[in-house]
Structure 1
Amino acid sequence: MSSSPSRRVPIESQKVDAPLTSSATFLVLRIAEGADAAASVRDAISGIDDIVKNVGFRDLDAMLSCTVGIGSAAWPRLTARRAPAELHPFAAVVGPVHTAPSTPGDLLFHIRANRQDLVFEFERQLLDALGDSVTVVDETAGFRYFDVRDLLGFVDGTANPVGNSVADSTLVGAEDGDNVGGSYVVVQKYLHELDRWQSLTTEQQEAIIGRKKADNVELDDAVAGQKSHKTLATIVVDGVEHDILRDNMPFGSPGSSSFGTYFIGYSRYLWVIEKMLENMFIGDPPGAYDRLLDFSNATTGCVFFAPSADFLGRLADEQLPA
């Protein structure tokens, strides 16, 4: 959202709503110990737009962008500003059968473009700028699969907000005045057991997902008993549905039999995504967990806050906290 995405947010936000692209890299880093490392990170991320311009000018139609997220442990090392109200480490969700683990991460870079070479070159220049002030925790390259489907064969991201509701669903407002225009970001890597999934009938798969496989038509919610993934991932409180913006992408390597989905959700309120994960892993009611998890295993879990572009641009000029 490059300028005034809503009347409620009068400052420039990062492009959390950048269009879905054909390529993306999700880069999670840890910051090295010491004030010098923190200072180097501040310099690099405050100049992130310069790297975007330096790489993206080769093909403006490729829509290169990068969203920067900061973790709770890194926040006080990079700025003296008050931390976002809900920012905290990812809390592991332990269900009766499956667990959403919590894994380390100080920085997230969500790099997107319609050309993989631009994503590659941006990441190369970014890591050169960061140098030995960081270490790579996870690097996952995603790709668009057919008509925006995941590797399970279903269309992904159908429930995303559209139009003016995007800003209302993703950007912090006056409820946290020091962090207006920012967005909470949750990332998880899910590895799929494709052989077992493909052994199910199409009807069984559709019942688990809650949508038709061929045309993506939404199925009715179950009146009682086991709820579908679609239903468990829909958060309604006091009759109001709370949306998040997903920019999930498939990833994998047929040669190593590794197939997965990288989940990334942007939200105005962190509790919305946390409630969604509680429904999926613990169940609603408890015990009736998301049966998709029997075929899709979460291996990482991190929480970040993507501050406004204004915040990032001024970060290097702030007095470094003690």
Structure 2
Amino acid sequence: MRRAPSSSASGSWPPSGSSWRRSSGSSVTGPLLCVWSAGLRCGVPPGIDAYPEGNSRNRRRAPVARGRASLREHAGGADDRTDPDVDPREGGSMPTAQPAIFNDMGEHQWYVHLSRTEGADLATIKGVVRDLRAACADQDINLVLGFGPTLLADIGAEMPNDFQPFETIKSTDGSGREAKGTQEELLFWMTSAHKDRNWKAQWDARQALKGHMAVARETITFIYGASLDMTGFIDGTGNPQGEAAERAAAVVPDGEPGAGGSFINAQRWVHDLEAWEKLPVKEQEAVFGRTKAESTRLDEQPETSHVAHVELREGATADATKPKRDELVRRSTPYALHTGDVGLYFMAFCKTQAPLRERLRAMYGADGGVRDRLTDFSNPASGSFYFAPSVEALDAGLR
């Protein structure tokens, strides 16, 4: 079993040479309290959700389970409770991917990125995350937990192959365009039909983590029209079709380190809509490599098109005569901030990390190719790679 070097043997943070005292106890002062009634599930607009190059459709699937016992008793999270005494690293059946990766998102999404602060206590962090899983299960909130390399190692989860932090990728054409790296240690991604429930769950977790983890950034997103990006183009056309194909693309196979888990690329892309909307539709279509109305792939791909950079094929990128390779499951949604910034929160899941890096490097021409023209109109303000461990690995690592 491969593991990254742990940054802390004792569970405190930072790892070495410190005299900071670890707080007593292995859990927070109390469970996260939720006060809402069950309520009815809101409808979800038909659609798709992500970027770059399309993403995963918001299919209707079975609703997440609502726990009926105390929060502590069902801390496995929505639809993902397993025997906490079974360590997936000791063998057994195929580990279970976190269900929220594939569940319907609902109309409201909330992203919270955190990193440890001086004197952080790992046991306290684990207790808060356990309570958050329970709270989300109780309130019909889909929750994906993503861990950066340092925190994943410290909770004792199996380290997947080739798990690297997000490093800034710079274009080489003098444009100054870059995919900014802002690697953090922990991601909460919450989705549901109820914005108030999302808010309450993440707020309680943040309060309980004070003194141990600080929020680096957060973004609230929504479904726009019939699954449109702010550019007016449909999202999701390029994703694997069907749940089996999605799982094959997104989940680390059985027998490999981190089996049942998934690599995540999380970025907040900021659109220059004023410049974009000045382009004629035909030129917009050339930028994406698809028609605007129907999202039909253009027969002839401009070398600067988005499709030409991110549609990975055997032998040659974007060669429609060749089979696709290294596909992703994209689950992204648009946002609009009070600052006036608008754009798309890009979430991609893959069974290996290399294709995530490959697409970004291609988009920015980092290896000598032509830069993706889409980066003239949108660029990421943040970027982190995470790993979403299997349900069983979470249960074991958070004990």
TM over 0.5: yes
**What is the CA–CA distance in structure 1 between the aligned matches of 2:219 and 2:255, rounded to whole Å?**
34
In the other structure, the counterpart of 2:94 is 10
User: What's the offset of the Cα at 1:144?
Assistant: 0.5
| Residues 129-148 of structure 1 mapped to structure 2, 5 A cutoff | 129-148=208-227
Is 2:161 aligned against 1:77? no
- 112-121 or 43-52, which deviates more: 43-52
Compute the displacement of 1:300 (Å): 0.9
- For the aligned residue pairs, the C-alpha RMSD in angstroms reads 2.1
Q: Give the match for residue 43 of structure 1.
A: 127
1:128 to 177, 196, 207: 207
SS of alignment partner, residue 268 of structure 2: strand
Percentage identity across paired residues of the two chains: 24
Q: Does the 8 Å CA contact 1:209/1:230 hold for their aligned counterparts?
A: yes
Partners of 1:256 and 1:91 lie apart in 2 by 26
Question: Would you say 1:248 and 2:325 are equivalent positions?
Answer: no
Q: 2:341 maps to which residue?
A: 258
1:273 maps to 356
Q: TM-score, normalised by structure 2?
A: 0.70
Q: Is 2:389 aligned against 1:307?
A: yes
Change (3 A) 1:230 1:9: farther
Assess, with a 3 A threshold, how the Cα gap between structure 1 residues 181 and 107 changes in structure 2: closer, same or farther: same
Q: Which moved more, 1:85-94 or 1:187-196?
A: 85-94
Aligned positions, number: 299
Larger radius of gyration: 2
- The aligned counterpart of 1:29 is 114
1:9 Cα offset (Å): 7.1
Matches for 1:174-193 after TM superposition, within 5 Å: 174=254, 176-177=256-257, 179-193=258-272
CA distance in 2, matches of 1:217, 1:9: 41
Shift of 1:44: 2.1
Q: Which runs of 5+ in 2 are unaligned?
A: 1-77, 81-91, 316-322
Of residues 236, 245, 251, the one that matches 1:171 is 251
Cα shift at 1:265: 0.6
Give, in angstroms, the shift of residue 2 of structure 1.
5.1
Matches within 5 A, 1:161-240: 161=240, 162-174=242-254, 176-177=256-257, 179-222=258-301, 226-238=303-315, 239-240=323-324
What amino acid sits opposite 1:211 in the alignment?
R
Q: Deviations over 1:44-83 (max 9, x none)?
A: 2234431113333xxxxxxx2110000012223222x442
Change (3 A) 1:234 1:126: same
SS where residue 191 of structure 2 aligns?
strand
Give the aligned residue type for 2:110.
T
Tell me, in whole angstroms, the C-alpha distance in 2 between the residues paired with 1:99 and 1:53.
38
Residue identity matched to 2:342: F
The aligned counterpart of 1:149 is: 228
Q: Structure 1: which amino acid aligns with 2:391? A: A
